Amino acid sequence: MNGKLPVAIIWHMHQPYYKHPQTSEFVLPWVRLHASKDYLHMARLLQEFPRVKAHFTMVPSLRDQLEDYARGADDEDTRLTMVTVDGTLTNEEREHMLRRFFSIHHGNVIHRYQEYRRLLQLAMATGDRHELLSDEYFIDLALWFNLAWIDPDDIRSDQRLLELAEKGARFTREDVRYVIGRQRFMASGVPHLYHRLQRDGQVEILTTPYYHPILPLIIDDRSALRSDPGAQLPEQPFAHPDDAAFQLEEAIASHERAFGEKPRGVWPSEGAVSPEAADIMRKAGFDWFASDEGVLARSVDVELKRDEVGALVEPALLYRPYRLANGATAIFRDRELSDRIGFMYGDMRPEDAVGDMIAKLERARDRLPDDGGPYLASIILDGENAWEQYPNNGNDFLRTLYGRLQSDERFETVRVSDFLAANPATVELPRLHTGSWIEASLRVWSGEPAHARAWAALERTRRFAEEQWGSLRYMPKSVRQPLMVAEGSDWFWWYSSRNSSPEDAVFDELFRANLEVVWWFAGAEPPDDIRSPLMDPSRLAATAQRSGAMLPGSGERYG
């Protein structure tokens, strides 16, 4: 093609809703930690390249948690961090810290700091004999865990943090309080910086359904059978299309309150779409949505072929927006490029990784005909979990990538809404496949025995609540919110046999806790099948016996 190939980059920022509905404490620390390592720094780094445009998805329930932290909310790990300097740790609390406080990439992070590495070696040497470790050991561990989760650029730019990293040991109460305070400050700054970059025209902020549910499964869980006919589903269908609509309506209202305007684009949770979901998104007022190349391939019944280096042979099939019959526009990500950033490029030199990516884009651009556009290459991936796999938190790769995109005259980064306003889709998509960005199916969130138990528990509770108060949108907030939280994708992700972590029991308990409060609010006892674990007991027993983060797990991914 002549001219520049437009490229849309979408970084998806998301964590589950970790607030316990009965205690209001955050049971896991990952929102706070990713705020200080990823959410803020991703936007700050982008500012260094003013001609590069990008998108951030801001899940409304994630923003709620960031605002809670900014107002002083605690999670279990901030509480234990302060106990190390303000009180005495119990044996259980010591054991918890030894499991949790090495939860970051060992090779790329812990081994970068000599004193943090020494703490890990001591913990491994003492094994279960934590009584051999001093109180001062746990103070140092608490500070290092929280400090290591701050982006290296931010440590270098903050003289006090830099001094603490150089000090290495024998930290004081004031040292610990300073690090936690900086994390709260970073959490408070995330929405404001994103908003400013959007006003400046460099960023477009997208939304998702409020608590990140899989829209096709909320509308009708039988839709999973379209791509997975053998899926095991509960006897009673879960089919609540108005819940899906309300999750979107609430997301739009929250987005408008935070950023002063309605979002034009939406990332449906996990890129999961269906014809019914597309109609609900359009009815909610969205101009466009995004999904995965596998969904496109199944929609038009073609194979997206790639050459020997992984570049698209016929890029015009993927690198374009599509118009749906309902008037919405759909774009589909280049999975190869997106997954290479997410899973492969961290093991390469930044120059080589970016060179590989640009070479694939270059080949695709050269294969696009001059007529037949508009063309748009979409790169969409998790914007927070990838960077632990990279040295220096991915900063060297991102600077190399943004620098190349800013200077290379063959490409231009765009905001999708601006691009579509000037270049409307010209090709109609006759049908939309039901699937997600994982295998173009919904089997990660539906289809297994544990999934069926979880969906059955949710349906039973949802039906009970409707008998008491009517539809979801008219329920009391104390009932509506935990139900909407329980509809989120993450619980069902962890009920899949392919996904497991040392926190399996935590996710299972938190999902069920959100269901239990609905029954209690009505003055009823939750059924026994909701009060008992939904995961397979042997799996829970196996994860309980793990050493957690003491030894790196597969891929060394945390939170």
pLDDT digits (tens, 9 = 90+) for 437-466: 999 999 999 999 999 999 999 999 999 999
Lowest-confidence segment of 126-130, 198-202, 286-290, 554-558 by average pLDDT:
554-558
Quick: pLDDT tens for 519-549: 999 999 999 999 999 998 888 887 766 543 3
Quick: pLDDT tens for 158-187: 999 999 999 999 999 999 999 999 999 999
% the chain with pLDDT above 90: 95
In the block, which residue shows the tokens 């609900």?
A: 280
Residue 32, class by beta-carbon neighbours within 10 Å (0-12 exposed, 13-18 middle, 19+ buried)?
Answer: buried
Task: Identify which has the larger pLDDT, 482 or 502.
Answer: 482
The CATH code of the domain at 5-16+212-217+237-428 is 3.20.110.10
Per-residue pLDDT at 536 = 87
Per-residue pLDDT at 283 = 98
Per-residue pLDDT at 184 = 96
Token pair for residue 177? 């309080």
Alpha carbon distances (Å) from 146 to 38, 41, 304, 517 = 14, 16, 44, 32
d(CA 250, CA 252): 5
Q: Where are the domains of the chain?
A: 5-16+212-217+237-428, 68-186, 449-549
Per-residue pLDDT at 32 = 98
Per-residue pLDDT at 549 = 36
Regarding beta strands 322-323 and 329-333, do their DSSP bridges make them parallel or antiparallel, or are they unpaired?
Answer: antiparallel
DSSP string, 28-45: S-HHHHHIIIIIHHHHHH
DSSP string, 99-115: HHTT-S-TTTTGGGSHH
% the chain with pLDDT above 70: 97
d(CA 313, CA 364): 7
Per-residue pLDDT at 540 = 84
Residue 559 pLDDT grade (very low, low, confident, very high; cuts 50, 70, 90): low
Quick: pLDDT tens for 91-130: 999 999 999 999 999 999 999 999 999 999 999 999 989 9
Q: Mean of the pLDDT values across residues 122-143?
A: 96
Position 232 pLDDT exceeds 70: yes
Q: Mean of the pLDDT values across residues 260-280?
A: 98
Per-residue pLDDT at 546 = 53
Q: Which residues contact 533 (CB under 8 A, 6 or more apart)?
A: 505, 508, 509, 512, 540
Token pair for residue 210? 């409020």
Residue 555 pLDDT grade (very low, low, confident, very high; cuts 50, 70, 90): very low
Regarding beta strands 288-292 and 329-333, do their DSSP bridges make them parallel or antiparallel, or are they unpaired?
Answer: parallel
**Containing H/E element for 161?**
helix 159-167
Q: Mean of the pLDDT values across residues 54-78?
A: 96
d(CA 196, CA 178): 27
Quick: pLDDT tens for 336-392: 999 999 999 999 999 999 999 999 999 999 999 999 999 999 999 999 999 999 999
Position 554 pLDDT exceeds 80: no
How many whole angstroms from its chain centre is CA 552?
A: 21
Per-residue pLDDT at 558 = 53
Task: Identify which has the larger pLDDT, 550 or 47.
Answer: 47
Residues 44 and 537 sit within 8 Å (Cβ to Cβ): no
Per-residue pLDDT at 547 = 44
Position 396 pLDDT exceeds 80: yes
Position 318 pLDDT exceeds 80: yes
Q: Mean of the pLDDT values across residues 231-252?
A: 98
d(CA 145, CA 100): 9
Mean pLDDT, the chain, integer:
95
